[in-house]
Amino acid sequence: MMTDAVLGALDTVLDPELDQPITELNFVRSVFIDDDGVTVHLRLPTSFCSPNFAYLMASDSLDALEDIEDVGQVRVMLDDHHDSDKINAGLAAHAGYKGTFGVEAEQDLEELRMTFLRKAHTASMERAVSALIASGAATAADCEHLLLRDLPDGPAKYALLRRRVQIGLGVCPNCRVVVDEDGSPLPPEQVPVRLRFARSVRISVEGNSHFCRGLLATRYADDDACDGTSGPVITNVRTRALPDSNFLQERSS
């Protein structure tokens, strides 16, 4: 179904700072699907959320939706933000980040994305190490020699491996777990410092997530159709179905 395809695509879009899907954060306000295409409205906890964060999420949503086979025209609209008009116009024109913000764009969008991916990796690294220590399988003193193969299989390890891939780090079992932002092993005396910093990053990310959820719920508390705690309002009036997968394979062969 097109509805499932649209929601699945939006599930892949992350808030760059909170490192969580925009669907889980309830940033997707509404989805409208018809024979012409898909229109998605996004909303954020405040009207003054950083424009670069807002643009990154909206642009990633547009890209993810346009990858859906036979989706038609895709429209992504950011509601209730002080830069909504500028961002929506840039998305509609496919103008890109610098084309949308001009001289206000302080850095390239991919540089911005990498900054937050590195932050997500740092938080994931700390979670994996802390979980191992809490289980009793390692001590703080072991961290300087800790390898990926020493981490037990589970969500914490898988999240760390995904983040390492995203920023171009190796995932060989013999790779060091505690590394600097470039993926280089640290001298033993710097490992505790790195882990303390990583813990502060992880706590900041988790704290901001709770804070943003609360702000969103408060901001849209009076919107019965779309408050800050429920999922998006979904309307699907499309009458034509997605092409059969076998047909698509034959057409591409």
Q: What domains does the chain contain, in order, with CATH numbers?
A: 2-106+215-239 (3.30.300.130), 109-186 (no CATH)
Q: Phi/psi at 176 (nearest 5 deg)?
A: -65, 145
Average pLDDT on 79-89 reads 96
Instruction: Give the span between the Cα atoms of 1 and 12, in whole angstroms.
Output: 17
Which is more confident, 174 or 250? 174
Give residue 50's pLDDT: 87
Which is more confident, 105 or 191? 191
Q: Confidence class of residue 107 from pLDDT cuts 50, 70 and 90?
A: low
Instruction: Give the span between the Cα atoms of 231 and 228, in whole angstroms.
Output: 8
- Tokens standing for residue 242: 């997605």
- Tokens standing for residue 160: 């760390």
- Tokens standing for residue 179: 């590394």
Per-position b or e across 34-58, b if 16+ CB within 10 A of its CB: beebbbbbbbbbeeebebbbbbbbb
Q: What average pLDDT does the chain have? A: 89
Could you tell me the sign of the dihedral formed by the alpha carbons of 170, 175, 177, 181, in that order? negative
Q: Confidence class of residue 181 from pLDDT cuts 50, 70 and 90?
A: confident
Nearest of 179, 191, 100 to residue 142 by alpha carbon: 191
Looking at the chain, the whole-number percentage of residues with pLDDT higher than 70 is: 92
Nearest of 125, 245, 144 to residue 191 by alpha carbon: 144
Give residue 240's pLDDT: 73
Give residue 65's pLDDT: 98
Number of Cβ within 10 Å of residue 244's Cβ equals 9
Give residue 224's pLDDT: 64
Which is more confident, 53 or 34? 34
User: Does the pLDDT at position 14 exceed 60?
Assistant: yes
Average pLDDT on 27-51 reads 95
Which is more confident, 86 or 250? 86
Instruction: Give the span between the Cα atoms of 31 and 72, in whole angstroms.
Output: 14
User: Does the pLDDT at position 168 exceed 70?
Assistant: yes
Helix (H, G, I), strand (E, B), or coil: what is residue 82?
coil
Give residue 60's pLDDT: 95
Give residue 225's pLDDT: 63
Average pLDDT on 14-29 reads 92
Give residue 230's pLDDT: 76
Compute the chain's Rg from CA coordinates. Answer: 21
Whether this model's pTM surpasses 0.75: yes
Per-position b or e across 134-156, b if 16+ CB within 10 A of its CB: eeeebeeeebbebebebbeeeeb
